[in-house]
């Protein structure tokens, strides 16, 4: 058991602009048993925090598919749901989860630029990865197609209409055909956006 205020690196996910209870419903399956879900009491993003050592690439793939299924069943969303993910220090206290990673992922889910880009995509779901997590997952085979950098938010965004395949299928460099294709240079400098590695 963690002592109060101890810090451990964990994967965090926040989901905003989604039907109430969406994240909890999407994480009912056994493969999400390593996630703790916190639904907001008075609006705001829902939060999921993984146990230390979780397989981040696999969780992302499973979460995208499950969220899309729940959104299709709900069919009530007027805007795109935005799922933000980050890995960093999480602190557990008697009042719940906190620490810089939780603050970062909640802020990303509420970032106006990310929300506007998600809505403009026309897709039911958009996923935002912080710059560091995106770089790590690219090393694990995350296809780059459709991911667009938002330097002001220090993150990468991709709209999804369909789940994507196992990352291991793309380590040879083949791009994933799922999702919404957004023509995007591999280097954000080509967009005049500044550094390719904005601070987290």
pLDDT higher than threshold 80 for residue 186: no
Indicate whether 37 belongs to any domain: yes
Is 197 or 65 the better-scoring residue by pLDDT? 65
Least-confidence region, from 22-26, 126-130, 169-173? 169-173
Q: Is 199 among the domain residues?
A: no
Instruction: Report the SS3 class of residue 51.
Output: coil
**176 against 16, higher pLDDT:** 16
Q: Does some domain include residue 88?
A: yes
**d(Cα 169, Cα 166) in Å, to the nearest integer?**
6
Q: Is the pLDDT of residue 180 over 60?
A: no
**For residue 156, what are the CA distances in angstroms to 43, 87, 97, 110, 132?**
25, 14, 24, 14, 10
What digits encode the pLDDT tens for the residues 4-41? 566 899 999 999 998 889 999 999 988 898 899 998 87
Identify whether 198 is part of a domain: no
Query: Does residue 114 belong to any structural domain of this protein?
Result: yes
Instruction: Give the chain's mean pLDDT.
Output: 81
pLDDT at 192: 30
Q: Does residue 1 lie within any of the structural domains? A: no
Does any domain span residue 196? no
In a domain, 33, yes or no: yes
Stated pTM of the model: 0.80
Q: What is the number of domains present in the chain?
A: 1
Q: Which domain holds residue 69?
A: 6-191
Those residues with Cβ within 8 angstroms of residue 175's Cβ, 6 or more apart along the chain or in another chain: 143, 144, 145
Q: What is the tens place of the pLDDT at every residue in 129-166?
A: 999 999 999 998 898 889 999 999 999 999 999 887 66
Specify the range with the lowest mean pLDDT, choosing from 57-61, 72-76, 107-111.
72-76
pLDDT tens digits, one per residue of 60-74: 999 999 999 999 988
């Amino acid at each position: 058991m963690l002592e109060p205020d101890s810090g451990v690196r964990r994967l965090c996910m926040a989901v905003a602009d989604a039907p109430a209870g969406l994240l909890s419903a999407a994480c009912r399956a056994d493969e999400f048993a390593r996630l703790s879900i916190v639904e907001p009491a008075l609006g705001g993003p829902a939060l999921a925090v993984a146990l230390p050592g979780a397989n981040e690439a696999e969780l992302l793939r499973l979460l995208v598919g499950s969220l899309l299924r729940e959104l299709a069943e709900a069919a009530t969303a007027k805007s795109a749901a935005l799922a933000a993910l980050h890995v960093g220090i999480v602190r557990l206290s008697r009042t719940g989860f906190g620490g810089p990673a939780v603050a970062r992922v909640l802020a990303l889910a509420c970032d106006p630029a990310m929300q506007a880009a998600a809505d403009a995509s026309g897709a039911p779901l958009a996923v935002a990865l912080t710059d560091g997590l995106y770089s790590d997952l690219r090393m694990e085979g995350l296809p780059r197609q459709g991911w667009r950098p938002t330097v002001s938010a220090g993150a990468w965004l991709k709209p999804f209409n369909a789940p994507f395949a196992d990352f291991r299928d793309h380590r040879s460099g083949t791009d994933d055909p799922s999702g919404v294709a957004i023509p995007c240079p591999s280097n954000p400098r080509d967009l005049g956006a500044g550094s390719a590695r904005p601070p987290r």
